[in-house]
A and B are shown apart, each in its own frame.
Chain A
């Protein structure tokens, strides 16, 4: 696959001046919409996770007419519900030296200096309000006996700034946003469309003006128009088939927007989470994450000698390698995710992995149980231990857990400016669906923070500035018809192939290809192989997929096939992006670019930019570079040793 290089992106709309003042400056300069006019403006919000749910609720409260969509049967089921560990905020309630500046610094550094300073600073500022908002909504965060909020520390940070609700933080935060959303639905400001999937974007007069959706129950294709469109459709980790994402997560919404002109930022940045339950068989449909907070007390090890097949309890201390503690004494088991994941891969590549297939390492609680007692460990991690036992049939109190890295989060997504607006005017993108704020690697407990910052605080301000220019008049009928034609054409094509393979079987094969060549470690050779194979596989898909049923009524196989079709195109762009970035950074490890002791080697002179890809005229991608300047954080080689 070829690409060309286009004009660099020069203006990200971030105000100039001291970084502490930029958000205030932007808020003050944003035009306001008068309350009577808000009622006349419609905003479509696709997605009801933390980002979309909080945005739709807030926009509704502000007085806009909101139309909200999700593919599940209720907004409460969005994938955000699954987040376990917690949410960061620079409250410094512990007095352990935390501050907005430190959270900003940790996030920029954790992202391996590939995130925008202005955005990250704002995120750290707003984090403080998120906790206040959630508590006021009745989110039952963990508390101390004195009645104040409890916090814990998370991978990549040395202060205790993570707020949590047992192992179900995402659930409780999402229910808070969901309840706020339901309140607006009852108030009539938000019109909710559940079991509706967005399949294309309507652009008219150069602006995003609506969406084409399929009612998943009746099969009907509907057009919904608005003055602005917000995409909050989550990440695309399911391109790998096996991931910790919910089964339905997909790329269709953002990929369709990309096809219509929205740039795609850093598609190759994928976060691999170090503590997931290893794959157990061919039939496997997804992987389950074990919260990173387990690494606060659990110790990670493998046998010293390759091929040591004794039961873990029979391996004496002297024959164990606590490799994280050995290689990274300062952070030990709490090194950031990219480091922990790669270290696990390395020991398994040396043949020292444990469990079936040798793709696993131990996460051992024996010391913690001896030190704190079983009760204390159970109190802290009980539900996670139970989940582990349920899935593996092994008891983690008496036998160390087996864990292995798995695809977890995508830092790439649609490119947005400081206002969270994409390159299509009127199309805003929030939460995991955009590329912003995390750079090449996301620190734990930061995605929830970003989703809610975007939805409750940032978007409602910046979108107002855009909407102040509205209403934007009639939407061209030809524009709607064209989008409708695309959607019905694709569905018709899928149903008419009548081949001999299921969409899932293609998805599995694509996923394996991506994991092997665009996963934890990438090489030029592997990426070239993938770029050769993906088009072949896509061709076979379009000639040999079998989609049962018709376009009417509930047809889950059709839904899946449509999503897989888009994953093919995205997969290709991911590999191209990974191939062109001949440096290692964060979640992108190019084997050709490493230090002598095997750590990621960045190339700041060559690659300190965001790669924003445009869908070119004939499908040839065009690369636009947004240079990253670091005024407040000095770029340094990350070291956790």
Chain B
């Protein structure tokens, strides 16, 4: 198939950026979206142009490194999918596809489609962990965990930190990401001792980074490749309010 791509090009953080149009031909339906961009980049290199910069690594939907806004939707229109797991069979021959980076103040653009998501790491630094030095852990069976809790904790823990939720939110809120970690650790006995301090510190850090507040729009969960549910935001709010008392 043949496609017209409109790609956001931006040389660096200081550059204003603009959309540039490219034609790609001979796109196979079995290609992933990133492989389609690879083909474009190979051509750009040979033509002496600057290839389009984009982040990616695992190409299996698990590392959270890839991410772009495709036709206005973070990771594209197919639900619960990362960009690397989106395949060209979902596009029509002759279609025009627009490709842009995540846009949110706490995710400054580095180049083209690459943004800086260091703010996510700093939210985790604020308290998204259990303080347990290596070598001091009790036997794993000494604390049983209800299967329902373990499963629900797992569901929240599957967040890949891609940032699509932020990119989709009209307020640029990181509540889905932060709520997922607070919920994951809050559901397990191991997470209890630091539960209050964790909620306070992570929420505070989220604000410090400049992420907006959550107004329950639900755009985040709609684009989340791991299907993280809005419940985690409610859980975060409950934990925060309880701890703030």
Contacts and interface: CB of A to CB of B under 8 A. Distances in A.
Interface of A: 54, 57-58, 61, 72-77, 79, 81-82, 91, 93, 129, 131-138, 140-149, 165-166, 168, 171-172, 175, 178-180, 182-183, 185-186, 192, 194, 217, 246-248, 280-281, 283-286, 288, 387, 390-393, 456-457, 460, 500, 502, 504-505, 546, 548-549, 553-554, 556-557
B166 interface: no
Nearest to B38: A285
A502 B47 CA distance: 11
Nearest to B121: A74
Nearest to B186: A138
Contact of B62 (A81, A391, A505): A81
A385 to B, nearest CB: 14
26 contacts: A73-B117, A74-B117, A77-B64, A77-B65, A82-B62, A134-B140, A136-B137, A138-B185, A140-B151, A142-B150, A143-B146, A147-B146, A166-B154, A182-B121, A183-B129, A183-B131, A185-B121, A186-B126, A281-B28, A283-B31, A283-B39, A387-B60, A390-B87, A391-B32, A504-B42, A554-B53
A54 B134 contact: yes
A198 to B, nearest CB: 17
B55 to A, nearest CB: 6
Contacts of A168: 62, 158
Nearest to B82: A390
B141 interface: yes
Contact of A72 (B65, B146, B154, B160): B65
Nearest to A504: B42
B145 interface: yes
Interface string B174-199: 00000000001100101100000000
Contacts of B138: 132, 136
Given A58-B133, A77-B64, A131-B140, 10 more contacts: A74-B117, A74-B118, A81-B64, A136-B190, A180-B129, A194-B118, A280-B30, A393-B29, A456-B134, A502-B42
Contacts of B39: 283
B114 interface: yes
A89 to B, nearest CB: 9
Given A76-B161, A179-B130, A194-B118, A393 B87 contact: yes
A137 B157 CA distance: 12
Contact of A73 (B30, B55, B144, B184): B55
Nearest to A553: B12
Interface in B104-122: 110-111, 114, 116-118, 120-121
A241 B137 CA distance: 41
A249 B199 CA distance: 35
A128 to B, nearest CB: 9
A628 B15 CA distance: 60
Nearest to A75: B121
A58 B133 CA distance: 7
Interface string B27-49: 01111101100110110111011
B89 interface: yes
Contacts of A283: 28, 31, 35, 38-39
B125 A246 contact: no
Nearest to B128: A179
B87 A73 contact: no
B56 interface: yes
Given A133-B132, A387-B60, A505-B42, A171 B158 contact: yes
B147 to A, nearest CB: 5
Given A183-B125, A460-B134, A72 B184 contact: no
Given A74-B117, A246-B63, A247-B57, A556 B140 contact: no
Nearest to A183: B129
A474 B29 CA distance: 58
Interface in B54-103: 55-65, 81, 85, 87, 89
A276 B35 CA distance: 18
B64 A137 contact: no
A182 B128 CA distance: 8
Contacts of B120: 74
Given A77-B65, A171-B158, A283-B28, A135 B137 contact: yes
Interface residues of B, number: 79
Contacts of A280: 30
Nearest to B27: A283
A387 B35 CA distance: 17
Nearest to B36: A283
A149 B141 CA distance: 7
A134 B132 CA distance: 10
Given A142-B150, A393-B30, A132 B59 contact: no
A140 to B, nearest CB: 4
Nearest to B143: A135
A137 B130 contact: yes
Contacts of A186: 125-126
Interface in B1-51: 11-12, 28-32, 34-35, 38-39, 41-42, 44-46, 48-51
Contacts of B85: 387, 390-391
Going nearest first, the 3 A-B pairs with the smallest beta carbon separation are A147-B144, A179-B129, A136-B137
Given A133-B137, A136-B190, A283-B28, A79 B58 contact: yes
Given A179-B130, A285-B34, A557 B184 contact: no
A73 B118 contact: yes
Contact of A148 (B59, B144, B188): B144
Nearest to A286: B59
A129 B137 contact: yes
A548 B48 contact: yes
B169 to A, nearest CB: 20
A143 B145 contact: yes
Nearest to A460: B134
Contacts of A144: 147
A544 B6 CA distance: 31
B117 A132 contact: no
Nearest to A194: B118
A353 to B, nearest CB: 18
B153 interface: yes
Contact of A285 (B48, B59, B128, B150): B59
A140 B89 contact: no
A182 B129 contact: yes
Nearest to A192: B121
A558 to B, nearest CB: 11
Nearest to B43: A502
Contacts of A134: 140
B154 A172 contact: yes
A182 B125 contact: yes
B8 to A, nearest CB: 15
Given A79-B57, A246-B57, A548-B51, A137 B190 contact: yes
Contacts of A247: 56-59
B89 A393 contact: yes
A171 B156 CA distance: 13
B190 A135 contact: yes
Contacts of A500: 46
A134 B38 CA distance: 38
A137 B138 CA distance: 11
A61 B146 CA distance: 31
A573 B39 CA distance: 31
Contacts of A175: 157
A132 B53 contact: no
